[in-house]
Structure 1
Amino acid sequence: MSVLIGVLGGLGLFLYGMQLMGTGLQKAAGKKLERIIEILTTNRFMGVLVGVIVTGVIQSSSATTVMVVGFVNAGIMKLSQAVGVILGANVGTTITGQIVSLSIDELAPIAVGIGMILWMLAKKDSQKNLAEILIGLGILFIGMEFLKDSLKPLRELEAFTNIMASIGHNPVLGVFVGFGLTFVVQSSSASIGMLIALASTGVLPLSAALPILYGDNIGTCTTALLSSIGASKNAKRAAIIHLAFNAVGTLLFIFVLSAPITSIVTKLDPTDVARQIANAHTIFNLANVVIQFPFAFILIKIAMWVIPDKGEGAELKLTKFIDERILETPTIAMKSVINETINMGEVAKKSLISAMDGLFEGQLDKVKQTFVYEKDINKLEGLITEYLVKLSNKDIMDSDRRYIDGLFNSINDIERIGDHADNIAELIVTMDQDRIVLSELSKQALLIMYNKTKATYEIALDVLDKPSQENIDQVIALEKEMDQLQREARRDHFARLNSNECSTEAGVYYLEMVNNLERISDLSCNLARIVADTVAIA
């Protein structure tokens, strides 16, 4: 019982330290990690590099693969891109094993102490991030030391040593043990950590460790497989690709490459089994990527065979960028939700264009399309708001939290822009039903205001995408011009009324349209001001 309690305590500290260190690294990477979406191309080699870097930062191949499933489900990433990232994630996860195999336990308390002092004195996010990394690293090694001490009594148990010997002679059994272990703890890094702890106590020979290690790699696939339940077909295929890659690699190394890998790692570290396991883990995943990379298209075909199309049409989704699985990596989720907000903004722009172009072109069907867009805008507002609430509950930097607060206001302003476009469309439909016609002078004035409003709004959306002081100033300047145009439009309208150049009924609708366009311009200015207030602009 004391061994079990010690193992649970040590494993808990290990997992917490790894999670804390990963969070700190992720925050420290910040905007660089956000830009990972922009790097993703159809180049599979680039995808492998992305997978290595992201997994090295967030310290979890499972989280990376789940995130990839989310990207595919959201439609951001194609299967051809996903396969490269998945391959790279397996290499990135070996970094944790290399770290914990190092004999630097005596430095762990120092790392925690320095980290705590830095945390208490920190005034900047960057300093707090460094503190989290140090504290997490220290706790990780303290957990490992606790785990090693708890496992030492197993050296005296003949039954346990016999089990380890039987695994060494029966590698298939070892694979199942590794699979089961990783399935339970849902972390291949934790499984590798336990193997290294056992090896450090002298109870786990390399011959028994290797098949368990291979099984760990299959076990880690269960996280993505479970995550893909309820997702799109392509998202399920991404999870299948992960499973197929690791399953093929495991079979290859058990029956063909086990002897060479044993020879290599024992020559590198003849007496240190912990280092042998860490190196075997790294070599296994590197070699697996090198061997299977040229045949990545076969992995895709396997996934397509397991999850066929069955002649069904493409799956339609209202959202384009957000997916709950991406929340596993908050810094990347930030970029996704910003993109989704811009997507919502583009739908609102289409709504305005449909209404106004329909008016000028005399196409009522185009005007009525605005009502369809309005429903989509309202749905997007609800979905993005829900996502922002979940993201704000994650461990994120203070600067990101301020930006999230700003995004709540931004999506509200975009929804109101959609409302004003909807108002304009309703005015046009009513005018058509009542046979009310605007004068050519009124239409000309509306066209000028519409073009100015659309330009203001488009630049405001650019500010959301890539904040710049120049664009913010331009939006504010255009909004002031719009205020002047509104005053001129009202003045000219009353002059036309006095000279009987337009009817009173038409004038009411005209002024309502002028007011709605001016309000859209105001709300566009709000979007730019929110960014100016929440983002540090160079």
Structure 2
Amino acid sequence: MQHVEMLFRFIGGLGMFLYGMNVMADGLQKSAGNKMKHLLEFLTRNRLMGILVGAGVTAIIQSSSATTVMVVGFVNAGLMNLTQAVGVIMGANIGTTVTAWLVSMSEWGAFLKPEFFAPLLIGIGAFMMLFSKKEKIVDVSEILVGFGVLFIGLNFMSGAITPYRDAPIFSEAFRVLGRNPILGMLAGLAVTALIQSSSASVGILQTLAANGLVNWSSAVFITLGQNIGTCVTALLSSLGAHKTAKRAAVIHLLFNAIGAVVFGLLMFVVFTVNRAWASSEINSVGISMFHTFFNITNTLLLYPFGNLLVKLSGMIVKDDGEEEQAEEAFELPHIESRFLETPSFAVEGALKETVRMGELAIAHVELVFDAIRTGSQKRVDKAVRLEQNMNEYEKKMTEYLAQISKGSLTDHQRLIINDLFYTVSDLERISDHCDNLAELTQTMISDGLHFSMEAMQGFEEIAGLTVDAVKAAVLARETEKMAYVQQVVQIEDEIDDLEEDLRTQHINRLAHNECSAARGVIFLDMLSNIERISDHANNVVGYVADEKEG
């Protein structure tokens, strides 16, 4: 019965450790907000800057796997080239060592032992979470609670293992793994691939080491295997991606595998010469030191060969040329399921893609107005096809925004996502009105109808204002500048007044038989649709204004 209790204790501790890590990472991400977005904005073709960015982002989100998955997504979306990706991947491996140092804090001194301060952190965090309504304070409380639960979980795991410190099965197992580098690396790889986190698998190894169950040789080879195992997540993520994204995942594998092989051979020689060191016990701080030393040294060694890694990935994932062209039919490059791992990136991608949808709406408005001017059948047909694209855009964007809304967001990010739901709908409605205008133009072409000079002058005036309104609305969404918001509000008022005047003038022409009933009905319907386009543009800037006030 005691063995079952210890097993339950270990499983429960592992669960708390993983949950605490997840809660802490969520709190860190929300607390960082758009800072991670700005980190990426600093990313240039300079590989050194990429290393710093990769390390910084990974330290924040507490997962090199998540960072690399995002890199695969950026490369797949065309937002990052392979040269930039190499640097970020190198930096991600360095950033992931932060978690190992956090886990080893229990061996820094009595004051830092988990059982000493973790309950206090959870208590403080819980009170802050319950009694504060300020978003920043709630984010900090999540970090504290996650931090505390993480260490309580470690303490549970450690307590479950303590009775078995002298059990021969553990010493024998790690002795075998220590003598056989391949077995040790495979064990580390398998565990990491299974739980999809090198940080978590290193944490488990450190817990065993803290109880005196792990020797130096087995720890080194298992850690090297864990660094290879972390590549599995990115490789799986790249399965449905473009060839370039697959190459980014392969670069991650090459970088870690080459480093592991080189270090594995070197350490095998060292441990063969110094068997006493190889069989001596290692503690969690020692694992943190080796983990950090390996990743930093591996980065320094392979940094000059970044371009060679890119070439090797091209040799492994060969370009067949045709597949890439076939996949370019209709894509939304800024929205990627891989970005959902980090909500701040997902929100930023959704914003950029909404702006692209807005630019497509501008093109649609200009195209259909040009079709009215020229009576061109080709422009009418193209406008109809654009409306189909806008429908597809709305569908994909709505699905993606729904996925983002399920994630861990700040109040401001949640407000933005809610507004984007409405913005996407308004942009699609603009397209619907353009489609109505295209149908009315088609009727005019089929029936051989033409507007009078007075009607066309009125159309040109209201059409010009409407195009200006939609353009300013998209710029307001992109830049969040209130000047564009005010511009749209002013134009929309002018369009309302102008639409009423033009409607009155046209009814007078109908009353004096200066215009046929068929042309009159079409013109009035066109005015109604054009005025509705400006209304939707006004809605778009209204959401931006709400965000600024919020």
TM-score tier (shorter): over 0.9
Q: Is this contact kept in 1: 2:215–2:282, CA < 8 A? A: no
Distance 1:140 1:260 in 2: 35
Q: Which residue in the other structure is 2:90 paired with?
A: 87
Q: Quick one: which of 512, 531, 535 aligns to 2:544?
A: 531
Q: How does 1:360-371 map to 2 (within 5 A)?
A: 360-371=373-384
Residue range with higher mean Cα deviation, 331-340 or 211-220: 331-340
Distance 1:476 1:379 in 2: 29
Q: Which residue in the other structure is 2:52 paired with?
A: 49
Q: How does 1:349-368 map to 2 (within 5 A)?
A: 349-368=362-381
Residue range with higher mean Cα deviation, 251-260 or 213-222: 251-260
How far the C-alpha of 1:525 sits from its partner, in A, is: 0.4
Distance 2:58 2:446 in 1: 60
Q: Which residue in the other structure is 1:151 paired with?
A: 161
Q: Which residue in the other structure is 1:297 paired with?
A: 307
- Please give the secondary structure, in 2, of the residue aligned with 1:437: coil
How far the C-alpha of 1:34 sits from its partner, in A, is: 3.5
Distance 2:86 2:271 in 1: 25
Q: How does 1:192-211 map to 2 (within 5 A)?
A: 192-211=202-221
Q: Is this contact kept in 2: 1:96–1:189, CA < 8 A? A: yes
Q: Quick one: which of 345, 355, 361 aligns to 1:342?
A: 355
- Please give the secondary structure, in 2, of the residue aligned with 1:156: coil
Q: Quick one: which of 169, 172, 176 aligns to 1:166?
A: 176
Q: Is this contact kept in 2: 1:262–1:280, CA < 8 A? A: no
Q: Which residue in the other structure is 1:505 paired with?
A: 518
2:447 partner amino acid: D
Q: Is this contact kept in 1: 2:43–2:50, CA < 8 A? A: yes
Q: Which residue in the other structure is 2:79 paired with?
A: 76
Q: Which residue in the other structure is 1:424 paired with?
A: 437
Q: Which residue in the other structure is 1:123 paired with?
A: 133
Cα RMSD after superposing both structures: 2.4
How far the C-alpha of 1:222 sits from its partner, in A, is: 0.8
CA distance 1:261–1:454, change in 2 (3 Å): farther
CA distance 1:420–1:222, change in 2 (3 Å): same
Q: Which residue in the other structure is 2:389 paired with?
A: 376
Q: Quick one: which of 408, 412, 417 aligns to 2:425?
A: 412
Q: Is this contact kept in 2: 1:468–1:537, CA < 8 A? A: no
When the two structures are aligned, how many residues end up with a matched partner?
Answer: 533
Distance 1:43 1:235 in 2: 20
**Counterpart check, 1:9 vs 2:3:** no
Q: How does 1:172-321 map to 2 (within 5 A)?
A: 172-256=182-266, 273-312=283-322, 313-314=324-325, 315-316=327-328, 317-321=330-334
TM-score, normalized by length of structure 1? 0.93
How far the C-alpha of 1:260 sits from its partner, in A, is: 8.6
Residue range with higher mean Cα deviation, 409-418 or 496-505: 496-505
Q: Is this contact kept in 1: 2:16–2:152, CA < 8 A? A: yes
Q: Is this contact kept in 2: 1:320–1:343, CA < 8 A? A: no
- Deviations 1:394-441 (Å, cap 9, x if unpaired)? 222233223222222111111100001111111112111111012233
Distance 1:532 1:306 in 2: 50
- Deviations 1:487-506 (Å, cap 9, x if unpaired)? 22223334444565544332
Distance 1:413 1:37 in 2: 30
TM-score, normalized by length of structure 2? 0.91
- Deviations 1:303-322 (Å, cap 9, x if unpaired)? 22222111314221421211
How far the C-alpha of 1:77 sits from its partner, in A, is: 2.6
- Deviations 1:323-361 (Å, cap 9, x if unpaired)? 112111112111111222222222222111111123334
2:72 partner amino acid: V
Q: Quick one: which of 126, 151, 156 aligns to 1:141?
A: 151
Q: Quick one: which of 62, 71, 77 aligns to 1:59?
A: 62
How far the C-alpha of 1:259 sits from its partner, in A, is: 7.5
Q: Quick one: which of 535, 538, 541 aligns to 1:522?
A: 535
Q: Which runs of 5+ in 2 are unaligned?
A: 107-111
- Please give the secondary structure, in 1, of the residue aligned with 2:214: coil
How far the C-alpha of 1:14 sits from its partner, in A, is: 0.9
Distance 1:441 1:298 in 2: 68
- Identical residues among aligned pairs (%): 42
Q: Which residue in the other structure is 1:19 paired with?
A: 22
CA distance 1:311–1:331, change in 2 (3 Å): closer
